[in-house]
Amino acid sequence: MSAVPPEAAINVRQLWKYYGDFPALRNIELNIAPGTCLALLGRNGSGKTTLLRIMAGLMRPQKGDVRIFGNDPRHSAARDAIGLLGHGIGVYDELSAEENLRLFARMYGLANPNEVAAQWLKRTALDHVARSLVREFSRGMRQRLAVARAFLHAPKALLLDEPFTALDDRAIALLQSLLAGALKGGATIIMSTHQLREAMELATHVALLNRGKLLFHGERPVEMIQDPTWLYRTYGEG
Amino acid sequence: MRYLRQTLTIAGKDLRSEIRTKESLNAAVSFAVVILVLFSFAVDPSADQIKEMSGGLLWLVFAFAGALVLNRSFARELGNDCLDALVASPVPSSALFLGKALANFVLLLIVELVALPVFGVLYNMSWARQPLLLAPVLLLATWGMTVIGTIFSALTVNLRLRELMLPMLIYPMMIPVLMAAMRLTTLLVNGEAIPADDQIWFRLLVGFDVIFTSLAVTLVDVVLVG
């Protein structure tokens, strides 16, 4: 097995993942340089979520290896570096917005959890409902809180699974500005998405998965700016 | 130090959530009281019979009511995919486990401390005659039940029939701790001294707690991540 390239933020080598006998990921090889934004594309069931979950250390592959800044995804240094925004919002309904953010700030070992929580509540325009329980929030407010939860420890790598799905306009604008800011600050972003237009505004690289196989990985083709579906038509299977 | 802070953060979060919702505490306390009340109606035991069965009755009530608390331990993380956020965070799985176990331990103790006076009133027993010996039995046996229940709660969290599976898995595992607790509690609530032969049950409780806590702390990452 080859060594991890020193410049790789995230390195995936010969990765296989099976669900029973079904290979969800087949021999995936990916090198993602720091400061890039990779849009992970593919139809439903292509293996995008599985790949992101393995990168986030939520499951282990049967074969192969993932390195996050040179560490195993389960290593605390890797987990310190990751911000995850999955399908669920990952915050507690029975806690207030402020309590949720304080909780995660403490879990990430941040120095001033109260200050960080207050800062992010303001940035996500939730400061007026800081003490309200999340269960009383609208969907858009819950999504904004989830974004704050994923960003509050200034992660070096952001793993986003369908981040624009079900977001309202305000949350999309907020997320895009935060992602643009993070990218500018040198963070590495990997997002699986079906919303190509939103993703193409940020993506510097794209990867296309089909039935667990990586069909394309590289810089975002210029054709995709005009026609986001170009990659599907050129490399996808129908 | 960070490890301890993370453990206490998780425990605090679980306790706060439970105090807000009371979803498992209300059910467990009600269940314990109802069983004690029903049992007092169902049988009309003599004072000697009550003496003999006191420890057994109490720990069966604690174990059944406790399963209601333990079942929710990891299941409460499923809403909004909070378990993913926890597992992906830098909190070590062992700290996550210990935090949850600590919260469950406190909740189980609350159930026990409510059930004990009810037992005393209904069965005319002055159960607190040897509090300094009864307290370590309660603490050690409750921790043993908590450790088993919490790790199996993590194991069954993604099962559709987890409410059914958890009791089926944990009760056989709890047999040693329940046997020890029942024997010692029977002696202590009756105000009897613990004979030299029965001191081994104390050692069993300590040994059980040490072994199963170490095993659970070691295995919990595999249980959660695979």
CA atoms within 13 A on the CB side of A122: 6
| Confidence label for A172 from pLDDT (cuts 50, 70 and 90) | confident
pLDDT reported for residue A3: 55
Using an 8 Å CB-CB cutoff, list chain B residues near A20: none
Question: What is the sign, positive or negative, of the torsion defined by CA atoms of B152, B154, B159, B164?
Answer: positive
B126 compared with B7, residue with greater pLDDT = B7
Domain that holds residue A79: 10-88+155-235
Beta strands A22-32 and A188-192 are unpaired
Higher confidence at residue A8 or residue B152? Answer: B152
A1 — pLDDT class (breaks 50, 70, 90): very low
Mean pLDDT, range B33-62, rounded to an integer:
87
pLDDT of residue B8: 96
pLDDT in tens, A176-227: 899 999 999 999 999 998 888 778 888 999 999 999 999 988 888 877 777 7
A104: which residues sit within 8 A by CB, 6+ positions away? A149, A152, A153, B85, B89
pLDDT computed for residue A14 by the predictor: 95
Q: Which of B7, B13, B21 to mutate to test the interface with A (most CBs of A within 10 A)?
A: B13
Assess whether pLDDT exceeds 50 at residue A134. Answer: yes
Q: Does A84 touch chain B (CB under 8 A)?
A: yes
CB A100 within 8 A of CB A92: yes
DSSP A8: -
- pLDDT tens sequence across A20-75: 999 999 999 999 999 999 999 998 889 999 999 999 999 999 999 999 999 999 99
Tell me the pLDDT tens digit for each residue of B75-126.
999 989 999 999 999 999 999 999 999 999 999 999 999 999 999 999 888 8
First to last CA, chain A: 34
Interface A:B, Cβ pairs < 8 A: 84
Q: How far is A228 from chain B (nearest CA, A)?
A: 30
Question: Does any CB of chain B come closer than 8 Å to the CB of residue A88?
Answer: yes
Task: Give B166-191 pLDDT, tens digit per residue.
Answer: 999 999 999 999 999 999 999 999 88
List the Cα angle A137/A154/A90 in 5-degree steps: 35
Model confidence at A6: pLDDT above 60: no
3 state DSSP class of A158: strand
Measure the CA angle with vertex A107, ends B69 and B2; round to 5°.
Answer: 105
**DSSP reduced 3-state for B187:** helix
User: What percentage of chain B has pLDDT greater than the value 90?
Assistant: 79
Does B215 have pLDDT greater than 90?
Answer: yes
Asked if A172 reaches chain B (Cβ–Cβ under 8 Å), the answer is: no
- CB-based contact (8 Å) between A125 and chain B? no
B13/A86 Cβ within 8 A: no
Residues A132, A97 contacting (CB under 8 angstroms): yes
Quick check: B158 and B126 in contact, CB under 8 A? no
Taking CA atoms, what residue in A is nearest to B95?
Answer: A107
Counting the structural domains of chain A, the total is 1
Q: Which residues of B touch A190 (CB under 8 A)?
A: none
A66 touches chain B (CB under 8 A): no
Q: Are B125 and B189 in contact (CB under 8 A)?
A: yes
CA B41/CA B52 separation, integer angstroms: 18
pLDDT 10s digits, A138-166: 988 999 999 999 999 999 999 999 988 87
Identify whether the C-beta of residue A77 lies closer than 8 Å to the C-beta of residue A69: yes
pLDDT of residue A4: 54
> A38 pairs with which residues across the strands?
A190, A205
Mean pLDDT of chain B: 93
Range of the domain at B30: 2-225
Q: What distance in Å separates the CA atoms of residue B122 and residue B133, rounded to the nearest whole number? A: 23
Number of domains in chain B: 1
CATH number for the domain spanning A48: value is 3.40.50.300
- A192 forms beta bridges with A40, A161
Contact call for residues A121 and A130 (beta carbons, < 8 A) = yes
Give the per-residue pLDDT at B181: 97
Q: Which of B167, B85, B49 is nearest to A103 (CA)?
A: B85
The pLDDT value given to residue A223: 79
